[in-house]
Structure 1
C-alpha cells in the first residue's frame, strides 16, 4: 500500500483484517468495500465518501476524518472516542450504527440522517447543532451531552 492514496474510486474490495495504518487518503470514493476488523490506526481521511461499506470492529485509534461521508454503511463496534479530533467533520446518511462509542467527543454539527443508531454511546459529548432527523436511536445514551439545537425531527427511541 502507498503512504498516500488520492483521487481514486475503489470498488468491492475486501480489506478485512488488514493493517492500513498511518496513511493519508484524500478525495477517494469507496464503494461496497469490507473493512471488518481493519486496523486504520493513525490514518487521515480527507474529502472521502464511503458507500455501502462494512466497518465492523474496525480500529480507528488516532484516525482523522475531515469532510467524510458515510452512506448506507454498516458500522458496528467502532470506538470513535479514540479518534483524532482535529478538523473533525463527517456525515452519516442511512447507515446502521450499532454498539459504537462517540463519548467525550466535540462533534457538534454532525449529521446522522435516517440512520439506525442502536446501543451507541454519546455520553459527555458536544452534539450541539447536530442532526439526527428520521433516525432510530434505540438504546443509545446521551447522558451529560450538549444537545442544544439538535434536530430530532422524525427521530424515534431517544
Structure 2
C-alpha cells in the first residue's frame, strides 16, 4: 500500500540529498524545492503545485501527474515520455523546459504560458487546443504533432511544417508566417 500525503506544503526541501518518499501526493505544494537530477519515479501527484522548483534532469519514470501545475520552475532535460500517461494533465507557467521530451504523449488543452521551450521534442504529441502563448521555441521539434486549435500568440522562433503537422484552426501571429513557410524558401515582407 502506498503512503498517502495530503494538503502538505514542502518549502525549500532538498530532495536531491534526501529522496521524496514514494506514495500518493494529493493537493500538495512544493515551493523552492530542489529535485535536480533526483528521482520522483513511481510517485503519484494529484492536484499538486510546484513553484520555483529545480527539476532539472529529474527521473519521472512511471510517475503519474494528474492536474499538476508548474510555476516558475527550472525543468531542463526532463523526459516526460517515460511518465505514466494515465490521467496525464499538466500546466506550465514561466518555466524553463529546454530539452524536455514530450514525445508521443496525449496532452490536449495543455497550458504552456511564458515558457522557454527550446529544443523540446513534441514529435507525435497530441496538443490539440493547447495554449502555447508567449513562449520561446528555438529548435523545438514538431513532427507529426497534432496542433489543431492551439494558440501560439506571441511565441518566438516558431518553426512548424504544415505538411508534417496538423494545424487546423491554430492561431498564429502574422510575424510567425516565415516559420510556417520556411521549407518553401519564401520571403515574407512586412
Give the structure 2 partner of residue 93 of structure 1: 93
- Matched with 1:117 is 117
**C-alpha distance in 2 between matches for 1:46 and 1:32:** 19
> Could you tell me how far apart the structure 1 residues matched to 2:73 and 2:20 are?
19
Structure 2, unmatched stretches of 5+, are 159-190
Alignment of 1:131-142 (within 5 A): 131-142=131-142
CA distance, structure 1, for counterparts of residue 95 and residue 35 of structure 2? 15
CA RMSD, Structure 1 to Structure 2 (Å): 1.3
* Cα distance between partner residues in 2 of 1:25 and 1:36: 19
State the partner residue of 2:48: 48
Structure with bigger strand share is: 1
User: How far, CA to CA, are the matches of 1:136 and 1:6 in structure 2?
Assistant: 35
Distance 1:45 1:96 in 2: 20
Return the TM-score normalized by structure 2. 0.79
Q: In the superposition, relative to structure 1, how do residues 39 and 141 fare at CA in structure 2: closer, same or farther (>3 Å)?
A: same
1-structure distance, mates of 2:73, 2:35: 11
**Mind listing any 5+ residue stretches in structure 1 that lack a counterpart?**
none
1:51-90 aligned at under 5 Å gives the runs 51-90=51-90
Shift of 1:87: 1.2
1:108-145 residue CA offsets vs partner (Å, 9 max, x unmatched): 11110010111110001101101100111111101110
Look up the match of 2:15.
15
Distance 1:103 1:41 in 2: 18
Provide the TM-score with structure 1 as the length reference.
0.95
* Higher helix fraction (1 or 2): 2
More RCO (CA 8 Å, sep 6+): 1
Structure 1 runs of 4+ with >2 Å offset = 17-22
State the Cα distance separating 1:39 from its structure 2 match: 1.0
